[in-house]
Amino acid sequence: MKRILWIGIVACAGYAMLIPEAAYCDTQKRLGQAVFSVHKVDHGARVAGMGGAFTAIADDISTIFVNPAGLTNVEEREYTLGYTRWLVDTRFYSGALAYNTTRGVVGLAVMAFSVPDVEETTIYQPVGTGRMLEIGDFSVGASYATKLTDKLSFGFQVRWTQETIDVDRLTGVDFNFGTTFNTGFRSLRLGMAFKNLGRDIESRELNYQMPVAFDFGFAMDVFGEKGGDATYLTLTGESHYATDYSEPRYRIGGELWLQNAFALRAGVKPGYDTEVFSLGLGLKVKPVEGKVVRVDFAYSDGNDFEPPLRFSLSGSF
């Protein structure tokens, strides 16, 4: 079984090396044509607080939305609930559960994108017909992650998503694959995630691509060390390739834990139109021996829009 997984990882890594050229060889055709907006936004306040640079950190249940391989860091059972106030009064909601079994970690995640009521308009009734349009996304996915060695983890996820635009409903199935690797050099970790792989979707003679993306990142403790010190600082960065962009983009973030109870976070996304910078706060408490509750908040730059805000509640049970 592990030999098969190794082969799969090597195949994914080799294919991923072709992404920069394959994804951008025809940018005029592909740019802006990807569906399922719910998969293009950072879910979880901790993730967003670091500018989305979480692929290599991947050390709690919020990684189920970023890199499924990180689920191997779930010790027993964990949950998370997330809320995002997004642009122009839209909302994102998310939730997930993960359980560490004797044969790996299994997880279940749901995501939803909500749009406020929009009234239909026509050429003859430009101020509105009185009929309200139904718009939004819903996605549910199952994940599995396992440790191939004491340093290398592998995870995958399969998801079903539906996007509703009035009477049109686009549905699709996509797959995510990821790895995390502890290099053994100080605290340097590497992460790779190949996301949203699926067939194109056709509707009304139009072809829509899946929002295929490839992330490769690193993380390292530059002050103190996680697991050994109560106060430590982690820096992380990653490259992000996606079919919705005309060129690769980058994310840089940092997280400072104080007494392993209070966190300060910051992140930047050079070249982005919105969320160019992010700030975040986190609080971790243990109300019951052996159990953890985390509350996280993140603020992101909205440019000309109202700044996105995110709240997350997560923990173990």
Q: What is the pLDDT of residue 193?
A: 97
Least confident of 29-38, 43-52, 217-226, 255-264: 29-38
Tens digit of each residue's pLDDT (9 = 90 or more) over 186-202:
999 999 999 999 998 88
Q: CA–CA separation, 119 vs 280, rounded Å?
A: 36
Where b means 16+ CB within 10 Å and e means fewer, 171-207 reads: ebebebbbbbbeeeeebebbbbbbbbbbeebeeeeee
Whole-model pTM: value is: 0.87
List 41's β-bridge partners, or say none.
none
Is residue 310 predicted with pLDDT exceeding 60?
yes
List 78's β-bridge partners, or say none.
98, 316
CB 314 within 8 A of CB 81: yes
Mean pLDDT of 47-65: 96
Residue with more model confidence, 314 or 135:
314
Mean pLDDT of 55-59: 95
Mean pLDDT of 152-156: 97
Is residue 98 predicted with pLDDT exceeding 70?
yes
User: In the predicted model, what is the mean pLDDT of the chain?
Assistant: 88
Q: What is the pLDDT of residue 259?
A: 94
Tens digit of each residue's pLDDT (9 = 90 or more) over 38-51:
999 999 999 999 99
Which residue, 75, 117, 115, 78, is CA-closest to 95? 78
Q: CA–CA separation, 269 vs 100, rounded Å?
A: 33
